[in-house]
Amino acid sequence: MLVVPLVFLALVLGVVEIDDPRALGRVGLKTLIWIVAVTAVAVGIGLLLVNVLQPGRGVPHEVGERLIAEAGQRGGEITSCRDAMSARDMLLEIVPINPVRAASEGNLLGRMFFALVFGVAAAVVRSPGTRTFVDTMQGVYDICLKLIEWVIRLAPFAVAALLFTLTARMGWDVLLQLARYVGVVLLALVLQCFVVLPLLVRYLGGMSPGTFFRGAKIAMVTAFSTSSSSATLPTTLEAAENRLGVPRRISRFVCTLGATANMNGTALYEGITVLFLAQFFGVDLNLAQQALVLLICVLGGVGAAGVPGGSLPVIAMILGMFGIPPEGIGLVLGIDRLLDMSRTTLNVAGDLAASVVVARGEDEQVPVASA
């Protein structure tokens, strides 16, 4: 309910507040460098662990075949989704023909593009009319934040109920059969979330990891329970601005963009799953091919939608590219929800860490520029 207005308002206001086009370019560039570099590290950790621990060789073949057969229909839907959306279509979607339709159909990239150019124009035209309009948008944004505050008060009860239902539905048997794969994914996520990110936050962002995780907790819990970076966005913004003290102009820009484009958990998961299925089907990928998997997964993190299971069509596409049967995705569908919850948590933690790091550089530059 709150995501559509918030993405638009947060991006437009973020761009208007950055004001200086050079600063906008700088913040944008830093965000881009963070996305590529940190995501590449995440995928690298994942690929290293799969190569060392070889989880794909641990699943008995008859069990694998059975899981794929059971997933039948859902697996088919995901692989056909892959055919429908080519890289060219994805690129063309960025500029929507109709921004209102883009918003109602969940085309987040298109919606963000529209908000970005709208914000740039609003920053450039300094008439009394635009100023009044921007003030009005600020008012609507504040109202949205109030609504979010109310939602957050309900969160603890909702999270408890959600986790209970999920555990009861999923059952333990599928989990046990794929235990090694699940273990590798969780280990890689934990390393990235609790070793790599804290180091970056400490040394590049100048914030102690304890302070960071205390501030980020509410957004991470929401991400874990909703499995959606987009649905968590309101809470992410709240955490960045009010709990981590990131300036609004930075948090709005970085976190809103990050909710669709900065997904280190998703990219890491894509890398592990592709290699895991390659091992299961006996497809050998040499070092150069694995480097290519890494590159594609970094892009895959940008391309996946911030919704539950958003990365599954991307994985199906990558599997096809390397000659691994895409229907193999069925093997992991049974336990996807648990892993989705976990990787989304890392995605959101990554957005917050990015906003802390990008903001620090900006703070240092403000006095220099005004001196």
DSSP 8-state code for residue 178: T
Angle among Cα 260, 209, 240 to the nearest 5 degrees reads 40
Task: Output the smallest distance, CB 158 to ligand ASP, in A.
Answer: 17
Only one of the segments 144-152, 183-191, 337-345, 357-365 lies at the binding site for ligand ASP (rule: CB under 6 A); that segment is: 337-345
Task: Output the smallest distance, CB 99 to ligand ASP, in A.
Answer: 22
Which stretches of the chain are assigned E, i.e. beta strand?
A: none
Among 212, 232, 214, which residue's Cα sits nearest to residue 222? 232
For residues 212 and 246, the answer to whether their CB atoms sit within 8 Å is: no
Residue 232: CB atoms within 10 Å: 29
Question: Contacting ligand ASP (CB under 6 A), which of 347, 353, 356, 362?
Answer: 347
Task: Output the smallest distance, CB 309 to ligand ASP, in A.
Answer: 5
Which residues ranging from 214 to 253 are in contact with ligand ASP (CB under 6 A)? 227-229
The CB-based long-range contact list for 159-166 (8 Å cut-off, 24+ gap) reads 159/221, 159/222, 159/224, 159/225, 162/225, 162/226, 163/225, 166/337, 166/338, 166/341
CB of 58 or CB of 320, closer to ligand ASP: 320
**Per-residue string for binding with ligand ASP, 173-212, x by CB under 6 A?**
----------------------------------------
Question: Contacting ligand ASP (CB under 6 A), which of 111, 249, 252, 343?
Answer: 343
Which residues ranging from 260 to 319 are in contact with ligand ASP (CB under 6 A)? 263, 266, 304, 306-311
Task: Output the smallest distance, CB 137 to ligand ASP, in A.
Answer: 26
Which contiguous run of DSSP H or E holds residue 215?
helix 209-226
Question: Contacting ligand ASP (CB under 6 A), which of 17, 238, 327, 340?
Answer: 340
CB of 17 or CB of 340, closer to ligand ASP: 340
Task: Output the smallest distance, CB 281 to ligand ASP, in A.
Answer: 22
CB of 251 or CB of 347, closer to ligand ASP: 347
Angle among Cα 251, 257, 262 to the nearest 5 degrees reads 105
CB of 18 or CB of 296, closer to ligand ASP: 296
CB of 209 or CB of 308, closer to ligand ASP: 308
For residues 318 and 293, the answer to whether their CB atoms sit within 8 Å is: yes
| Spatial distance between the Cα atoms of 146 and 237, rounded to a whole number of angstroms | 12
Give CA torsion, residues 98, 100, 104, 105, to 10 deg: 10
Task: Output the smallest distance, CB 108 to ligand ASP, in A.
Answer: 10
| Spatial distance between the Cα atoms of 298 and 294, rounded to a whole number of angstroms | 6
Tokens of 358: 């990008």
Tokens of 67: 């899981």
Only one of the segments 98-106, 154-162, 183-191, 336-344 lies at the binding site for ligand ASP (rule: CB under 6 A); that segment is: 336-344
CB of 75 or CB of 306, closer to ligand ASP: 306
Task: Output the smallest distance, CB 171 to ligand ASP, in A.
Answer: 21
CB of 16 or CB of 332, closer to ligand ASP: 332
Sign of CA dihedral 292, 293, 294, 296: positive
Number of residues that bind ligand ASP (CB under 6 A): 16
Task: Output the smallest distance, CB 263 to ligand ASP, in A.
Answer: 5
Task: Output the smallest distance, CB 259 to ligand ASP, in A.
Answer: 8
Burial class (CB in 10 A: 0-12, 13-18, 19+), 344: buried
CB of 24 or CB of 189, closer to ligand ASP: 189
Judged by the rule CB under 6 A, the positions of this chain that interact with ligand ASP are 227-229, 263, 266, 304, 306-311, 340, 343-344, 347
